[in-house]
Amino acid sequence: MNSEKINTLFSKLKKLASTDAFCFIAPFTVLSLWLIALVLGGKVEKASGYYILYYLYTFDRGLITRGGITGEVISRFFDTVSPELTVQISAFLSAVLVLVSSICIGLALKKTKNEPGTRSVVLFFIILLCVLPVSFRIFLVDQKFDKLLWAIALLCVLLSEKKATVILVPALCVLATLINSVFLFTSMFLVSLVLLQNFYDSRYSKYKLAICFFAYSGMIATALISLAVQKNIQFDSAAEMVDYFFSRYTGELSPSDRQRIIYSCVNDYFEPFSTYFVKAINEYGIARGNWKPCLFHLLFLGVPCFTCFSVFWLNAIRAESNRFQKFIFVLCMIFPLVTIPLTVFTWEASRYTGNSLLVQMCLLVYYIVHKNPAVISSLKKSAGFVKRHSVLSAICAAYFAMYIF
């Protein structure tokens, strides 16, 4: 009798796992439980130092980039911001990322449900995406708003799938750029390349071309306007600006942190770009020695990752006959190079290398799910190489695993 019950239970579970609903329920349950455990365990970071400003910025004294939108929204609901509130807001944004990501994962699993081989490959890359240190392991607990930018980017990919909803994508791209122009050097590449691929897949539809035009021009114009008007904020000095916004913060700001934020984090609102750029190179990069970990990260993680994906995209280019599709693959291959100047300027190599890796992985899953012949051909060629050179592949896997675990 017990055996019959067990068999019946397994039969029901197997039937449930084969449904479309399970494709969405499973990732949402796993990621939600992960987030709940982090929240209950007190792992979600309180905003500290410069990043507190992202919760405090408003448009009272002019257009403030890098968090002004989010700070303005927060100010509509809360007169003051406490350290505990930053945790709650961060956890809420993590929940938004979990929801959007679960829908993306669910759609990928649903579309490959009847193709066990393809689904296994997609599931492998999805799991890899989830366990990467630069993915959920950081986003779910991090104080920065990068997770919100990724949630918007993934939402744009979802909306791009339907003709009726893709029209919302340009507005979302502008919103993400307003939240933080760093979007242009991180998850924006995923959105832009997916839109360009949609234009090609639609056989050069004028409608999809217009979507690309408004999305690209909107983001670029927003970034340029933000740079132009940020000098017009109504503060006489960086110190006045910091003190004004921190007047709404109920936590403590040490004199040393205050001075560091004034001198290092908001001076670009008051100094010419050329002056601030030279200071970023000489003082933050060279004098403080930040160039060492930055160079180490680029050489030992960035270059190997870029090389591996370059080989993959080159194989896809060779397998493709259409010139425009080749052009898109070239963009997929070279986009990480765009982040190098910003990496040198900010000395955050891990941030931009990590985001480039996420974009590459998401593109790979996107093309596999959409059954792109050239990408499938390149994937098979890569799999064949792994089988023929198992020892070398194991060494490479162990090398990259050091950065995961």
Of 261, 229, 270, which is closest to residue 243 (Cα–Cα)? 261
Does this model's pTM top 0.75?
yes
Contact in structure between 198 and 166 (CB atoms under 8 Å): yes
- pLDDT for res 232: 81
Q: What is the pLDDT of residues 150-206, one digit of tens each?
A: 999 999 999 999 999 999 999 999 999 999 989 999 999 999 999 999 999 999 999
Contact in structure between 109 and 122 (CB atoms under 8 Å): yes
- pLDDT for res 13: 61
Of 315, 182, 230, 249, which is closest to residue 48 (Cα–Cα)? 249
- Site of tokens 């397994």: 10
pLDDT category at 2 given cuts 50, 70, 90 is: low
